């Protein structure tokens, strides 16, 4: 007896088989796919500023809206390389649906990203954040601010240090000045005398050398050969070297270092230090503000520390949206007298720690009677009382200027006589007979206000939210999505690149919200379109 077996049927597998009706690429993109959110959002953007970068004439150009969709979706999918984006466009149905089947090469993608988006992308990012405001996802009333250092695309061994450049320039100037002055004395040339010795620039060095060489031709037989060679060496090598030092110092400006392969990058200590030896790398200090874990503002800065970035960053926020946040929350890296003063002048409620905020609550600090901060202060008569009861009178004020140019007033107080005091060895270690303390009353006042806010019920809430706002966003960008190093070079291009990262982060989160709340529609929301386009859409 034989058992009957059912016939196995396979689906048609003929790659050259056509179909009666065409298959649309959109039919192969799921309705909840994040690409549909990218498509809908970019369709609603006003890209007229971007379109103005096209001059017209010549061959046809790839549609900027299509390129924008593909690049944003690539960043959303953790693809940051121009070559990899071009490859994905050739191979992925999602990319073909977003950008069409006319596929540009990686050069077109890189040129669009590094040239056409420079100067135009800021407005596109702002439009998307305003969309989030209209959706009720952010309010722009509060900023949770933090910064991180991201490595530049530059070679890490192409450093130029300011101190080394200034030292070498001074040595060269000293040697050249000695040679030129010796030659001028030998030729009996007139020398200008000045009370203060002015720096010898490359241009002046070249002019003096030319005059000396012309004079040497007149007395060719009477000149010392070694001196002639030394002057010739100045003309041949030293002038060019001095020009190089001047160019480096001009690029450095206020910075202490830069990279030869990315002059806008500054050498900074990175947390991602594989060798764990504190090695500096060329990079940028990236600042963001978040609300509900959406990035509402971003900025690129050369200063390694966060303290000097707060004011320009807050100013960029108001420039972007035309309004300023009512509240700002930041960690101790931003707490300084200058920043507190600026925030108060602009009527911004600041929940910003200072560097000793947590240390003040520790028993070792709180119970130390010899610390200047713990001495009793008589505000009416302006004196402090030391642990032995001696008055420390006000003896004057001194001015202190920060590296940012902010001037603080420091008040000095001195005890009458500490000789023979039984607490002398515990009170201070100075060699003088009287202890002197320095107090910044204005900064202490700002700190007292900050502590009052930070320890309030609202302050405790904001302090609990700050680690899960910008810190969590940076963690998501750097570790979950692998963006730890820039691909482009220069401030303007790096700003566009991180802007794409920030926009992709926002749309990735927005797509999840859309999926949870309601199915994503491919129909554009008319509200964000320019007026003439909105009328056409209607």
Three-class SS of residue 24? Answer: coil
Res 171: pLDDT:
94
Looking at the fold, whether 173 and 98 belong to one and the same domain comes out as no
Q: Are 288 and 150 in contact (CB under 8 A)?
A: no
> In which domain, by residue range, is 98 found?
29-137+511-537
Question: How many domains is the chain partitioned into structurally?
Answer: 3
273 part of a folded domain: no
Looking at the fold, whether 183 and 124 belong to one and the same domain comes out as no
- 448, 466, 497 — which closes off a domain? 448
Confidence of residue 521 (pLDDT cuts 50, 70, 90): very low
Tokens of 205: 């060095």
Residue 261 is classified by DSSP as T
* pLDDT tens sequence across 291-325: 999 999 999 999 999 999 999 999 999 999 999 99
Res 538: pLDDT:
37
Task: Name the β-bridge partners of 439.
Answer: 411
174 part of a folded domain: yes
Looking at the fold, whether 237 and 167 belong to one and the same domain comes out as yes
Least-confidence region, from 202-211, 222-231, 413-422:
222-231
Looking at the fold, whether 174 and 242 belong to one and the same domain comes out as yes
Give yes or no for residue 274 having a pLDDT over 60.
Answer: no
Q: Are 462 and 85 in contact (CB under 8 A)?
A: no
Rounded to whole angstroms, the Cα distance separating 352 from 349 reads 9
Tokens of 483: 């963006």
318 part of a folded domain: no
315 part of a folded domain: no
Q: Which residue has the tokens 């071009």?
A: 86
Give yes or no for residue 202 having a pLDDT over 60.
Answer: yes
Residue 518 is classified by DSSP as S
Residue 247 is classified by DSSP as H
Three-class SS of residue 412? Answer: strand
- 241, 259, 277 — which closes off a domain? 259
Q: Are 501 and 494 in contact (CB under 8 A)?
A: no
Q: Are 331 and 450 in contact (CB under 8 A)?
A: no
Query: Average pLDDT in the 498-518 region?
Result: 90
Res 213: pLDDT:
84
Give yes or no for residue 535 having a pLDDT over 70.
Answer: no
Q: Are strands 376-378 and 142-151 parallel, antiparallel or unpaired?
A: unpaired
Within 319-453, strands assigned E span 327-330, 349-352, 376-378, 383-385, 391-401, 407-415, 436-439
- 416, 431, 448 — which closes off a domain? 448
Mean pLDDT, rounded, of the chain: 88
Q: Are 385 and 413 in contact (CB under 8 A)?
A: no
Q: Are 522 and 36 in contact (CB under 8 A)?
A: yes
Residue with the bigger pLDDT between 208 and 327: it is 327
Looking at the fold, whether 423 and 380 belong to one and the same domain comes out as yes
Element (H, E) at 520: none
Residue with the bigger pLDDT between 349 and 428: it is 349
Rounded to whole angstroms, the Cα distance separating 457 from 460 reads 5
- Runs of H (alpha helix) within 290-381: 310-321, 337-345, 363-366
Give yes or no for residue 254 having a pLDDT over 70.
Answer: yes
127 part of a folded domain: yes
Res 533: pLDDT:
42
Tokens of 149: 């250092």
365 part of a folded domain: yes
Give yes or no for residue 271 having a pLDDT over 80.
Answer: no
Q: How many residues does the chain have?
A: 538
Q: How far is CA 480 from CA 100, 475, 476, in A?
A: 29, 7, 5
Looking at the fold, whether 243 and 185 belong to one and the same domain comes out as yes
Give yes or no for residue 21 having a pLDDT over 70.
Answer: no
Task: Name the β-bridge partners of 437.
Answer: 413
Query: Average pLDDT in the 188-201 region?
Result: 65
- The percent of residues above 70 in pLDDT, for the chain, comes to 89
Confidence of residue 9 (pLDDT cuts 50, 70, 90): confident
Q: Are 44 and 524 in contact (CB under 8 A)?
A: yes
Question: Own/partner pairs for 427-430, CB < 8 Å, 24+ apart?
Answer: 427/370, 427/386, 427/387, 428/370
Looking at the fold, whether 127 and 35 belong to one and the same domain comes out as yes
Looking at the fold, whether 223 and 132 belong to one and the same domain comes out as no
92 part of a folded domain: yes
Tokens of 80: 């940051």
Res 537: pLDDT:
40
Q: Which of 43, 46, 88, 47 is nearest to 69 (CA)?
A: 43
* Residue 271 CB-density burial (10 A; 0-12 exposed, 13-18 middle, 19+ buried): exposed
* Residue 71 CB-density burial (10 A; 0-12 exposed, 13-18 middle, 19+ buried): buried
Element (H, E) at 285: strand 280-291
Element (H, E) at 63: none
Looking at the fold, whether 45 and 132 belong to one and the same domain comes out as yes
Confidence of residue 520 (pLDDT cuts 50, 70, 90): very low
Would you list the DSSP string of 447-492? HHHHHHHHTSHHHHHHHHHGGGTHHHHHHIIIIIS---B-SS-SHH
Looking at the fold, whether 85 and 171 belong to one and the same domain comes out as no
Q: Are 173 and 200 in contact (CB under 8 A)?
A: yes
131 part of a folded domain: yes
Looking at the fold, whether 35 and 125 belong to one and the same domain comes out as yes
Question: How far does CA 55 lie from the centroid of its chain?
Answer: 32
Question: Angle CA(260)–CA(265)–CA(271) in degrees, nearest 5?
Answer: 120
């Amino acid at each position: 007896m034989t058992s009957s077996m059912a016939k196995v049927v396979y689906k048609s597998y003929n790659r050259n088989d056509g179909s009666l009706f065409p298959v649309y690429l959109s039919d192969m993109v799921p309705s909840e796919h994040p690409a549909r959110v990218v498509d809908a959002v970019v369709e609603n953007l006003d890209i007229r500023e971007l379109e103005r970068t096209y001059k017209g004439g010549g061959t046809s150009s790839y549609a900027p809206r299509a390129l924008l969709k593909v690049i944003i979706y690539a960043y959303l999918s953790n693809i940051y390389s121009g070559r990899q984006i071009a490859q994905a466009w050739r191979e992925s149905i999602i990319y073909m649906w977003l950008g069409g089947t006319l596929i540009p090469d990686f050069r077109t993608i890189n040129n669009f990203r590094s040239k056409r988006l420079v100067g135009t992308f800021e407005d596109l990012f702002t439009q998307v954040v305003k969309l989030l405001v209209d959706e009720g996802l952010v309010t722009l009333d509060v900023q949770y601010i933090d910064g991180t250092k991201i490595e530049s695309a530059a070679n890490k061994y192409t450093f130029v240090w300011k101190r080394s450049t200034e030292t070498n320039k001074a040595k060269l100037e000293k040697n050249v000045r000695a040679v030129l002055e010796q030659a001028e004395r030998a030729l009996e040339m007139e020398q200008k005398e000045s009370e203060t010795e002015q720096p010898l620039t490359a241009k002046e060095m070249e002019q003096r050398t030319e005059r000396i060489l012309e004079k040497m031709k007149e007395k060719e037989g009477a000149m010392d050969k070694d001196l002639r060679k030394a002057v010739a060496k100045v003309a041949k090598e030293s002038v060019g070297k001095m020009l190089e030092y001047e160019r480096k110092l001009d690029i450095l400006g206020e910075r202490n270092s830069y990279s030869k392969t990315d002059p806008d990058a500054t050498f900074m200590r990175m947390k991602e230090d594989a060798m764990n030896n504190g090695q500096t790398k060329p990079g940028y200090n990236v600042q963001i503000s978040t609300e509900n874990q959406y990035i509402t503002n971003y900025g690129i800065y050369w200063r390694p520390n966060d303290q000097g970035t707060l004011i320009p960053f807050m100013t960029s926020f108001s420039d972007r949206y035309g309004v300023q946040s009512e509240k700002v929350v930041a960690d101790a890296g931003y707490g300084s007298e200058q920043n507190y003063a600026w925030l108060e002048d602009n009527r911004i409620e600041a929940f910003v720690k200072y560097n000793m905020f947590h240390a003040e609550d520790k028993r070792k600090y709180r119970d130390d009677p010899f610390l200047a901060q713990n001495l009793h202060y008589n505000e009416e008569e302006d004196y402090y009382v030391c642990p032995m009861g001696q008055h420390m009178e006000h003896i004057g004020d001194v001015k202190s200027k920060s590296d940012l140019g902010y001037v603080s007033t420091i008040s000095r107080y001195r005890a009458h006589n500490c000789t023979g005091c039984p607490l002398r060895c515990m009170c201070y270690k100075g060699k003088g007979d009287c202890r002197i303390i320095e107090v910044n009353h204005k900064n202490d006042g700002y700190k007292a206000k900050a502590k009052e806010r930070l320890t309030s019920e609202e302050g405790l809430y904001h302090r609990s939210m700050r680690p899960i706002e910008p810190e969590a966003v940076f963690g998501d960008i750097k570790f979950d999505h692998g963006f730890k190093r820039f691909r482009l070079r220069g401030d303007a291009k790096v700003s566009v690149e991180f802007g794409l990262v920030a926009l992709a982060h926002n749309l990735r989160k927005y797509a999840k919200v859309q999926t949870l709340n309601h199915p994503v529609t491919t129909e554009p929301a008319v509200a964000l379109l320019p007026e003439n386009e909105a009328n056409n859409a209607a």
